[in-house]
Amino acid sequence: MNNKLIQPYSLGDSLTFSEVSPGFPVIKVNNSFATATISLYGGQVLEYKPHAQSEQVIWLSDKAIFKNNKAIRGGIPICWPWFGDYDKNNNDLPTHSHPPAHGFARITHWNIHSTKLLSDGSTEIILQMPCHSNCQEYQAANAHYHLSLEMTLVVSNHLKVSLTTTNNGSRNWLLADALHSYFRVSNINKVTIQGLEQAHYVDKLKKGLTGTQESELWVKEEIDKVFLNTSNEIILNDPGFDRAIFISKENSSSTVIWNPWQKKSSQMLDMPAAAWLNMICIEPANVLENQRLLTPGESHTLSTSIKVKN
């Protein structure tokens, strides 16, 4: 870890630095509200826990792999500038033989722009994504790619993550973005998800079959559903941890719900075999028909605010 570069951003005991693995520095926040861990690799929240909570709010795999070009399993991965498979909207001549799933923001080493202890005791962190390796390769193949990406985090009695994309180019850009948030739950079979009632979805496990969510959502099998044209706050009710997690969002028209369940988890190197029982992804996003068209000079900020109530 290059201390000279990052130590100026420390804030006494409330914001320090360490490494989760050689070459993978993390920011450790411990303020009057909560603790949090943010990886500079991927610009990725890894942990968030208000002091009053006995259990982490954000789920992180015990088998997460910290290696370049590999996304960290868990936390809040940034899916950008495309979601899922390779970006089919903006490409002239894709050079990637195997383009990174969910884009390259989550496999880029981000820079710190600023850190601040706010007057109310919250901690504000601003990170910026430089265009390195995967991004440079993508840019070489897509002359009109001139995007910049910045993230603002506020660690408080809630966790706010805001992702701002700016189109610095001379052509429109069709952007897909998602905050691929993993939440820790007591038992996936015992939680309910409110806020998606009457929302239309695309079921990625059934060849894009569409449907409407009739009632609150229980998860009793593998799920990979994109709920479209919904800006609702989501409530993740978890009686086992005697809490509810409120996930609100701004400038997001899609919400993705994902749990790989037992079989897929057993096929993932970075997923403990039984971990699927204790996680659910609830992802504020703009994907499929909800992608955002950025005109030249335009900025778009996707944000989510996560709050726990007992």
Residues annotated as part of the active site: 180, 283
Kindly state the smallest distance separating residue 79's Cβ from ligand TA6, in Å.
7
Residue 298 burial class via C-beta count within 10 angstroms: exposed 0-12, middle 13-18, buried 19 and up: middle
- Backbone phi, psi, residue 293, to 5°: -90, 120
Kindly state the smallest distance separating residue 252's Cβ from ligand TA6, in Å.
14
**140 or 205: CB nearest ligand TA6:** 205
Kindly state the smallest distance separating residue 299's Cβ from ligand TA6, in Å.
24
Q: Which of 109, 121, 151 shows the shortest CA–CA distance to 12?
A: 121
**28 or 96: CB nearest ligand TA6:** 96
Q: Which of 229, 232, 236, 219 shows the shortest CA–CA distance to 282?
A: 236
- Which residue type occupies 89? N
Q: Which two tokens stand for residue 236?
A: 């993740």
User: By three-state DSSP, how is residue 147 classified?
Assistant: strand
Half-sphere exposure of 295 (CA within 13 A, CB side): 0
Kindly tell me which residue out of 180, 184, 243, 292 binds ligand TA6, with binding defined by CB under 6 A: 180
Kindly state the smallest distance separating residue 215's Cβ from ligand TA6, in Å.
22
Q: Which two tokens stand for residue 99?
A: 């383009």
Residue nearest to ligand TA6 (CB): 258
- Which residue type occupies 263? K
Please report, as residue ranges, which positions from 82 to 101 form the binding site for ligand TA6 (by CB under 6 A): 84, 101
Give the DSSP H/E element, type plus range, for residue 139: helix 133-141
Kindly tell me which residue out of 24, 59, 102, 108 binds ligand TA6, with binding defined by CB under 6 A: 102
**50 or 74: CB nearest ligand TA6:** 74
Q: How far apart, in whole angstroms, are the C-alpha atoms of residue 86 and residue 3?
A: 36
**38 or 282: CB nearest ligand TA6:** 282
Kindly state the smallest distance separating residue 226's Cβ from ligand TA6, in Å.
8
Question: Could you identify the residue written with the tokens 């070009």?
Answer: 69
Sheet holding 217-218, edge to edge: 111-117, 123-128, 147-155, 158-167, 299-309, 243-250, 234-238, 192-194, 217-218
Q: Number of residues in contact with ligand TA6, rule: CB under 6 A?
A: 11
**238 or 283: CB nearest ligand TA6:** 283
Across the strands, what pairs with 163?
151, 302
Please report, as residue ranges, which positions from 252 to 291 form the binding site for ligand TA6 (by CB under 6 A): 256, 258, 281, 283
Give the DSSP H/E element, type plus range, for residue 132: none
**129 or 155: CB nearest ligand TA6:** 129
Kindly state the smallest distance separating residue 72's Cβ from ligand TA6, in Å.
9
**Does 71 engage in binding with ligand TA6 (CB under 6 A)?**
yes
Q: Which residues bind ligand TA6 (CB under 6 A)?
A: 71, 84, 101-102, 180, 204, 224, 256, 258, 281, 283
